[in-house]
Structure 1
Amino acid sequence: AEEFNVSGILSVVAAGLFIRFDRTGVGPNVARTNIVSTSVWGVLSFSLNGAVFILLGMQLPRAMRASWSDPYISNTVLIGIILLVTLVVIALRFFWIAAMLRVARDTISGQRRKMTPERWRSAAVMTFGGPKGTITLSLMFTIPYYIAGGAPFPMRDELIFIASGVIIATLLLANFLLPLLAPNRGKDPSAEIIPVTIDVLRATVEELTGRITPENRRAILMVIDQYTKRIGRLQQRIGDTDPQGFEQLQIEALHWEKEFVRDRLADTKAHPAADTATQELNVETCERMLDQIMNTLRHTSTDPTSGHAVSQIRGRVRMFQRQMSNYAKRTVSKIRHTTPLVSEDQIFARTRELQVEAIHHVIGRLIDEMGQDTYNTEHCSALLLDYRRAEASLQARPTMSGTTETITQVEDVKRESYGIELGMIQDMYEAGDINRAQARSLRRNIYVMQVDADSGI
């Protein structure tokens, strides 16, 4: 810049604009570079912009005092110059942007578009929302204090005063006019792609569900739980949540538990064990668990007209009968001074085993439902997470080797799921469901997550 006698400040800006053009496309390597560069440049940009405006605040009072108190300079003229320069800056910006909008060709049709009221408004928004004077102030600070002959640079303070006044004027205009030209209507600019993202995540969950085997069952369910949380967060952003649907699925899962325990009780009575104590233990465990499930259903199902109302009434009667029968047995045992065939500790231990079996049954039903359209996919996945937590609290803590193996499987399933997502995006793009820009944005997010998985973050 010095060799060709041009502005060093503007040359730095031109260099930054030049290197900003990214011709390498997207991919894991580009995503890895963007993660680092975005963080570094974000910190540097924030620090440098803050430093410039701190200098503005430090220099402005001194420059204003020197110019404002100078009897040979009219303050009215200074204010008039500031307003005139501000008007010229805004007018040049507006006409330049409008000319670029008019000259630029449409990316699809290749034709130049006419200026509509909406495009004029866009030009005004870009005019007032453009640069606020960082480069201007930097140029003003490059003005030397003295010229070659040793005399002070003429009107240095006045130039800084005018530049600072123009910066403040443009800041104030942006704060007051931008809300009028482009009001915030509470819409997320990225909300348009959220439904497409949710569809891709749902399709990925359904594909992962079809790949469950006894060996990778736990790892895939953990990855599905993470996908469910992502879907839930996206739905909250667009206000598309259905708590009633999830509650209905919870109630239905309780009925699945009830049917499982009822079938187990019927099978136990139809095929009694050889040992009387074992038979009584199995029957008592099933009946107690049925009582717990029915009691839960009575507190969750508040609709008296539901189809399960009759079964709830019958369950109340059966529970009362079982409680009276158990109370009578124990009373007779006390009178006879005999020890009951089954202790409470045995019943408690067997109940835990039966609860785990019922949880496995419900998890299997939920996995089957995820491949169908009866219930919402993320509702099934969220309820899977709840039942898996209940299972973990009932079962013993896994060993360290088992935990390490599961973590390795989870990482492998994650990488596999990212490949599934990329395949889904490509299929949607080829089918015309999404455009090239949307596909590019979706792929970029997946590449970033692949970088995290590969680097072990």
Structure 2
Amino acid sequence: DASGIVGFQFAIAAAVSGVFEVRESACQFVVSFIGGAIFGLVVGTVADMLFETLRSLGWETTTSRILMELFLPFILYLGAEAVHVSGILSVVAAGLIIRFDRTGIGPNVARTNIVSSSVWGVLSFTLNGTVFILLGMLLPNAMSTSWDDPGVSNQLLLVSIFVVAIVVIAMRFLWIALMLRVARDTITGKRRKMTKQRWRSAAVMTFGGPKGTITLSLMFTIPYQIVAGTPFPMRDELIFIAGGVIVVTLLLANFLLPLLAPNRNRDDSVEMSEITIEILRRTVEELTGRVTEDNRRAVMMVIDSYTKRITRLKQRIGETDPQGYMALQIAALNWEKDYVKARLAEVKAHPSDSKAANDLEAEACERLLDQIMNSLRHIETAHDSGHAIWRLKGRFRALQRRTGTLVRRVNSRIRRTTPLFSDDELFAHTRAVQVDAIEHVIDRLYEEMGRDTYNTEHCSKLLLDYRRGEATLRARPNVGVSAEAQEQAEGVKRESYGIELGVIQDMYEAGDITRVQSKQLRRNVYVMSVDADAQI
């Protein structure tokens, strides 16, 4: 790319000036090329020594290091152009030799290395995105101008695109094949023959190489006028041809690369996601065993984040199980129903001395049973022949309970001037019974998380839903308590990272994962741990 840019600059200079001497241009090209490379190598070596010295003396800070890394390419380019050698080649040569010393041990060194990698990643992504945005804004206008020009044949433009594309692909293929043929094997030191596999490798590198960013960027640097003041000839047509060649090469890469180099390791990401899901499940189970009355809310906040991670990973590999989650919901509603039924039976079997308290408890339980049965009827997904009969029976029982409640209320109003309890009292007591039923379901869910009956993430997800419902029924959340729980959750989160690392080590020692997989998994946990520590 660098040598192509330099050659393009010489070609543009000759076209603009209208003067081209082979000997002089060749000498200038050699001086610019070799001089730029030497300048970059020298400055890169000096800069590398400077970075190592600053780090060894302890003078390096994150800010100074990043600033030096960012400004070094610009200083190189301007310095090379000032001595009349290629600035682009000097930057490339320096980039090939400079190491940006990453050795050393200590928190400052580690923090600097992490920030440096992050800054360059963001900068590279931003520059690439900016280039494509600018190209997208300028290219349609340039191409439409050429296409609508009556003085230029559209057929000629299309033929030119395909001819140039064929020449580019052929040149790349011949050059890559030649390099593969003359290159020596790193182990034997001998040149290898061109087998079918090596020819395929040459084809893969040929079609997978060109992207077009630099090509189109160079096309837009073509000046509008030459020295004489006349418009640069065929400028829009050159841009049109370059854009067409880019589209053709990208389409060829998109359709031919899967055929030439099929991805045989397509399941690696799926396997890694499945391993990660298993690690997260074990971490959630370990966190569940550490729940106490003091940290219950904080632990549930952390479990919620783990559940969301598991859900995202399952969606990525297409392994969602909505039926399993719905089955757990139905089971939880049945647990809730059984609890309320048992409580209602207890009231009827052992009534208290207060008639009003007995009626209030019974009516609250029956009202809550109606709500639970309605929920069960809405989410029941069975399609067997007894499903309709089951729904009819449920509705009949609900009608019986409502009729009994209505009869008791009418009887109470006939016998007494004032009822035994008000609607507000009934509403409040129903909420209290519902809170007790939810606590019963939560206890059951904690028990199920230690078993293999239901998925751990399903249990934790439903557990959080019930916790939110309980908090809503009890009272309005306290801001101070929420802030305290959030702060406590940060500590639990850091504790969970330690659990996760322990699970990874256990799986590695058991042979469930490879060394490479364990290294990658640990790296991910370390990144999250660093992020958590940065927020302290």
TM superposition score normalised by structure 2: 0.66
2:255 corresponds to 1:179: yes
Whole-angstrom CA distance in 2 between matches of 1:225 and 1:82? 53
Task: Name 1:444's counterpart in structure 2.
Answer: 523
State whether structure 2 residue 174 is matched by structure 1 residue 91.
Answer: yes
Task: Return the match for 1:363 from 422, 439, 442.
Answer: 442
Counterpart residue identity of residue 386, structure 1 = D
Displacement, 1:21? 8.4
| SS of residue in 2 equivalent to 1:272 | coil
How far apart are the structure 1 equivalents of 2:410 and 2:162?
101
Structure 2 distance, partners of 1:306, 1:431, is 48
Distance 1:193 1:13, change over 3 A: farther
2:21 maps to which residue?
none
Q: CA deviation at 1:428?
A: 2.5
2:119 pairs with 1:36: yes
Q: Is the 8 A contact 2:131 2:213 kept in 1?
A: no
> Partners in 2 of 1:450 and 1:60 — Cα distance?
51
What are the equivalent positions in structure 2 for 1:160-309 lying under 5 Å apart?
A: 169=245, 172-182=248-258, 190-303=269-382
- Quote the residue 1:389 is aligned against: 468
Name which of 161, 182, 185 aligns with 1:103. 185
CA gap 1:21/1:251 in 2 versus in 1, 3 angstroms: farther
What's the CA shift string for 1:67-108, capped at 9, x where partnerless? x99xxxxxx9999899656533332124435777x83569xx
Matched residues, percent identical?
53
Compared CA separation, residues 55 and 264, structure 1 to 2 (3 A): closer
The whole-number CA distance in structure 1 between the counterparts of 2:314 and 2:94 is: 41
The number of equivalent residue pairs is 432
CA contact (8 A) 1:125 1:182 kept: no
Which deviates more from structure 2 when the two are superposed, residues 253-262 or residues 12-21? 12-21
The alignment status of 1:399 with 2:475, answered yes or no, reads no
Deviation, structure 1 residue 396: 1.1
Deviates more, 1:348-357 or 1:115-124: 115-124
- Conserved in 1, the CA contact under 8 Å of 2:302 and 2:492? yes
> What is the CA–CA distance in structure 1 between the aligned matches of 2:193 and 2:504, rounded to whole Å?
35
CA drift of 1:453 comes to 2.1
Query: Matched residues in 1 for 2:185 and 2:239: separation?
Result: 31
CA contact (8 A) 1:31 1:448 kept: no
The answer (yes or no) to whether the contact 2:438–2:466 under 8 Å persists in 1 is: yes
Indicate conservation of the 8 Å contact 1:83/1:166, yes or no: no
Correspondence list, 1:18-167, <5 A: 18=97, 29=111, 30-47=113-130, 87-96=170-179, 103=185, 120-132=199-211
Q: Does the CA-based 8 Å contact 1:366-1:384 persist in structure 2?
A: yes
- The one-character-per-residue Cα deviations of 1:183-216 (angstroms, maximum 9, x if unpaired) are 699x687434211111111111111111111111
Q: Is the 8 Å Cα contact of residues 203 and 424 (structure 1) preserved in structure 2?
A: yes
- Asked if the contact 2:162–2:245 (Cα under 8 Å) also holds between the matched residues in 1, the reply is no
Separation in 2, partners of 1:18, 1:219 = 50
CA contact (8 A) 2:143 2:239 kept: no
Per-residue CA deviation, residues 42-63 of structure 1 (Å, 9 max, x unaligned), is 21344467779999999999xx
Partner of 2:426, secondary structure, is helix
Point out the more displaced range, 277-286 or 189-198: 189-198
Aligned partner of 1:325 in structure 2 is: 404
1:343 to partner: Cα distance: 1.8
Pick which of 417-426 and 296-305 moved more: 296-305
SS of residue in 2 equivalent to 1:103: coil
Query: 1:455 is matched by which residue type in structure 2?
Result: A
Does the alignment pair 1:422 with 2:505? no
Q: Does 1:413 align with 2:473?
A: no
SS in 1 for 2:90: helix
Equivalent-residue separation in structure 1 for 2:400 and 2:316 (angstroms): 51
**Retained in 1: the 8 A contact 2:36–2:89?**
no
**More displaced 10-residue stretch of structure 1: 134-143 or 436-445:** 134-143
- Give the match for residue 56 of structure 2: none
Q: Which amino acid aligns with 1:410?
A: A
Deviation at 1:157, TM superposition (A): 9.3
Let me know the Cα RMSD of the aligned residues.
4.8
Equivalents in 1 of 2:140, 2:407: separation in Å?
88
- 2:221 and 2:521 mapped to 1: Cα distance? 45
Deviations 1:322-341 (A, max 9, x none): 33332222223343452221
Name the stretch that deviates more: 258-267 or 373-382: 258-267
C-alpha distance in 2, partners of 1:304/1:77? 64
Are residues 446 and 339 of structure 1, via their aligned partners in 2, closer, same or farther at CA, if it must alter by over 3 Å?
A: same
TM-score of the pair, normalised by structure 1: 0.76
TM-aligned CA deviation for residue 274 of structure 1: 3.1
Question: Aligned AA for 1:9?
Answer: I
- How many Å apart are 1:413 and its aligned residue? 1.1
Q: Distance in 1 between matches of 2:99 and 2:132?
A: 18
1:339-358 to 2 correspondences below 5 Å: 339-358=418-437
Which one is further off, 391-400 or 369-378? 391-400
The alpha carbon displacement at 1:2 in A equals 4.4
Question: CA 1:302–1:8 in structure 2 vs 1: closer, same or farther (change >3 Å)?
Answer: closer
Deviation digits for residues 303-333 of structure 1 (CA, Å, limit 9, x no counterpart): 3759999987776555444333322222233
CA separation of 1:303 and 1:103: change in aligned 2, threshold 3 A: same
Match of 1:72 in 2: none
Say whether the 8 Å CA contact 1:85–1:166 is kept in structure 2.
no
1:9 corresponding residue in structure 2: 88
2:291 is paired with a residue whose SS is coil
1:369 deviates by 0.8
CA distance in 1, matches of 2:99, 2:344: 70
Cα distance, 1:255 vs structure 2: 0.7
- Which structure carries more relative contact order (alpha carbon 8 Å, separation 6+)? 1
